[in-house]
């Protein structure tokens, strides 16, 4: 019996109680949930439905809980129901009902953990969006890992997701990049406000190889060549490094297209129609203070130039007009001040920003060795890049380490820890279970042990405490996936996997799966193999959501 099936049984019991007592059934919720108690002595699951309904129907919660308990006691698979505290229902399953989960997981395979809680929601998820003026630095890599994991989680809970990289190929930072390339090609010092690092010289060399005539052009023409060619080369490198990191985007959106297609003018027209634009001192302003911003924002300067915020407005409108119900944007810690103005901008378009716009802020990441920050990039000066991180600890460890922590917390990635083949390395600890479960399967086949068909599976034999503990951990996976998606917290999956790994190790150490020597294969061996294989499924599914491999050997 899964937690979802148990929750349905609790709700069915409530319907029966309401019918018997002629209570108003409109007070019943459409669905309910059950949770694992923190103390295993309190049962396998706890339900709070009596507490939720008591005021609505005018019954003391313990009286309502007693009625629900009496109804639930006759439900197949439920061993006992106890009333605790003000009206909690502590529920214990019999071994057969609990053990059935192993078969359900194996049969579901890749689908186990997926749900439809966000079905019907179309989400645009923008992340990384690093300027094409240098390699992806470690802060952007954090968003690559977290954003990609979040896209997988949202899809696993039924949402339609479009991932997007906003390519800032317009504006002053691109002009500085082009000037830096031109200076490097001429063997001149970088401009005072320009970009340094060996990668600038590398790209300048590639541009001159493509366009041998570029240095014979006048400054303006040469700078334009370096802008177009240099940005294209840099962005190709960014896309390649992200692809090697396991991150692909559905859409790469060019900021320049907003300008070329007249979308900034279109956004301006929409905002004027909404009555939130005003002209002052030759400039065009958006009255964002009407919706809580600390000051109004300029969209077009008095000299006719567009501001960055104007492009933000046009880009948001473009996403909404492409049919996305919710726009989710991941930004670095230095963008915290953007939240208020972006929310106000969405309101100026007539949207409810609490429903249509979500901005996630990520904190800083440091790569450390022996407790000291590492500055190791030879190509990008003192900046640690995606390639530096991968070279130091590998793709799997990088993705897991970056997704393992809440994105609103700064983190230090210890090179020594994340390359260690020991249990204190979290990704090794989890992947080791993936490999061990696969190894058990191979060894079982060698001694002639197979699970057998589903009809011959005897779940009631899985009655050891450590088997029960592992089954309860496996049962939590769908709820963890749903919560991680809804709360935008992929780290919940990583922490769940580590708990699950611990439960499996305790099961493995206490419950012999394979027969010893000439010992005959029994139904208990087969039942435990089902449980072993169910663990393999959940570990693999969880790691896949984080973009991390589930190795069969280590």
Q: How many domains in the chain?
A: 2
Chain mean pLDDT for the chain: 92
Average pLDDT over residues 466-478: 94
Residue 229 lies in a domain: no
- Of 496, 492, 335, 490, give the one whose Cα is nearest residue 399: 490
CATH number at residue 46: 3.30.1360.70
* Residue at a domain's end among 44, 65, 93: 93
pLDDT in tens, 155-202: 999 999 999 999 887 767 888 899 999 999 999 988 888 887 788 999
CATH number at residue 469: 1.10.730.10
Domain that holds residue 513: 422-546
* Residue at a domain's end among 41, 60, 93: 93
What pLDDT is stored for residue 192 in this prediction?
Answer: 86
Number of Cβ within a 10 Å radius of residue 446: 8
Residue 480 lies in a domain: yes
- Tokens (6 digits) for 28: 């019943």
Residue 157 lies in a domain: no
What pLDDT is stored for residue 511 in this prediction?
Answer: 97
* Residue 376 banded pLDDT, cuts 50, 70, 90: low
Query: Terminus-to-terminus CA distance in the chain, angstroms?
Result: 33
* Residue 382 banded pLDDT, cuts 50, 70, 90: low
pLDDT in tens, 80-129: 999 999 999 999 998 888 899 999 999 999 999 999 999 999 999 999 99
What pLDDT is stored for residue 283 in this prediction?
Answer: 96
What pLDDT is stored for residue 381 in this prediction?
Answer: 58
Residue 117 lies in a domain: no
Residue 479 lies in a domain: yes
What pLDDT is stored for residue 526 in this prediction?
Answer: 96
- Tokens (6 digits) for 238: 């960014």
pLDDT in tens, 284-308: 999 999 999 999 999 999 999 999 9
pLDDT in tens, 5-24: 898 999 999 999 888 888 88
Residue 324 lies in a domain: no
Residue 181 lies in a domain: no
Pairing of β 251-254 and β 160-167: parallel
User: Which residues partner with 467 through β-bridges?
Assistant: none
The helix or strand, by DSSP H or E, that contains position 339, with its residue range, turns out to be: helix 338-348
- Range with the lowest mean pLDDT among 19-28, 68-77, 447-456? 19-28
What pLDDT is stored for residue 370 in this prediction?
Answer: 82
Residue 477 makes CB contacts below 8 A (sequence gap 6+) with 112, 113, 496, 500, 538, 541, 542
Rounded to 5°, angle at Cα 32 from 29 and 36: 160
Average pLDDT over residues 38-56: 88
- Of 375, 294, 388, 383, give the one whose Cα is nearest residue 336: 294
* Residue at a domain's end among 42, 65, 93: 93
Residue 38 lies in a domain: yes
């Amino acid at each position: 019996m899964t937690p979802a099936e148990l929750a349905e049984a609790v709700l069915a019991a409530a319907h029966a109680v309401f019918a018997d007592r002629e209570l108003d059934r409109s007070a019943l919720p459409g669905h309910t949930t059950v949770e694992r108690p923190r103390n295993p002595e309190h049962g396998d699951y706890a339900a709070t439905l009596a507490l939720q309904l008591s005021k609505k129907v005018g019954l003391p919660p313990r009286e309502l809980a007693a009625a629900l308990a009496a109804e639930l006691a006759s439900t197949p698979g439920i061993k006992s129901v106890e009333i605790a505290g003000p009206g909690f229902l502590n529920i214990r399953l019999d071994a057969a009902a609990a053990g059935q989960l192993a078969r359900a997981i194996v049969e579901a395979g890749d689908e186990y953990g997926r749900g439809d809680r966000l079905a019907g929601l179309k989400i645009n998820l923008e992340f990384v969006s690093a300027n094409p003026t240098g390699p992806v630095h470690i802060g952007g890599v954090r968003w690559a890992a977290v954003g990609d994991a979040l896209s997988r989680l949202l899809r696993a809970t039924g949402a339609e997701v479009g991932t997007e990289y906003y390519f800032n190929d317009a504006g002053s930072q691109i002009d500085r990049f082009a000037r830096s390339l031109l200076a490097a090609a001429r063997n001149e010092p970088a401009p005072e406000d320009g970009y340094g690092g060996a990668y600038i010289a590398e790209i300048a060399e590639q541009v001159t190889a493509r366009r041998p005539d570029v240095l014979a052009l006048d400054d303006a023409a040469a700078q334009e060549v370096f802008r177009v060619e240099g940005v294209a080369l840099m962005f190709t490198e960014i896309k390649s490094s992200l692809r090697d990191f396991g991150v692909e985007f559905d859409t790469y959106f060019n900021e320049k297209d907003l300008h070329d297609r007249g979308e900034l003018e279109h956004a301006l027209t929409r905002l004027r129609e909404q009555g939130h634009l005003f002209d002052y001192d030759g400039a065009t302003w958006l009255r964002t203070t009407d919706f809580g911003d600390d000051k109004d924002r300029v969209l077009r300067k008095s000299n006719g130039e567009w501001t960055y915020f104007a492009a933000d407005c046009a880009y948001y409108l473009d996403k909404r007009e492409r049919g996305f119900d919710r726009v989710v944007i991941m930004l670095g810690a230095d963008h915290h001040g953007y939240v208020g103005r972006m929310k106000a901008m969405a309101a100026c378009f007539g949207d409810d920003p609490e429903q249509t716009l979500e901005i996630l802020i990520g904190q800083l990441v440091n790569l450390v060795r022996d407790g000291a920050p590492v500055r190791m990039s030879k190509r990008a000066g003192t900046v640690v890049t995606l390639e530096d991180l991968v070279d130091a600890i590998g793709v799997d460890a990088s993705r897991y380490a970056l997704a393992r922590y809440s994105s609103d917390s700064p983190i230090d990635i210890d090179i020594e820890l994340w390359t260690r083949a020991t249990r204190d390395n979290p990704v090794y600890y989890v992947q080791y279970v993936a490999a061990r479960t696969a190894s058990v399967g191979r060894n079982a086949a060698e001694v002639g042990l197979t699970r057998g068909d589903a009809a011959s599976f005897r779940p009631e034999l899985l009655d050891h405490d450590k088997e029960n503990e592992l089954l309860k951990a496996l049962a939590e996976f769908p709820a963890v996936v749903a919560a991680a998606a809804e709360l935008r917290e992929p780290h919940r999956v990583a922490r769940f996997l580590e708990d699950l790994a611990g439960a499996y190790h305790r099961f493995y150490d206490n419950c012999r799966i394979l027969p010893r020597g000439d010992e005959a294969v029994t139904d208990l061996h087969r039942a435990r193999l089902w449980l072993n294989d169910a663990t393999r499924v959940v570990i693999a599914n969880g790691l896949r959501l984080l973009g991390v491999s589930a190795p069969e050997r280590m």
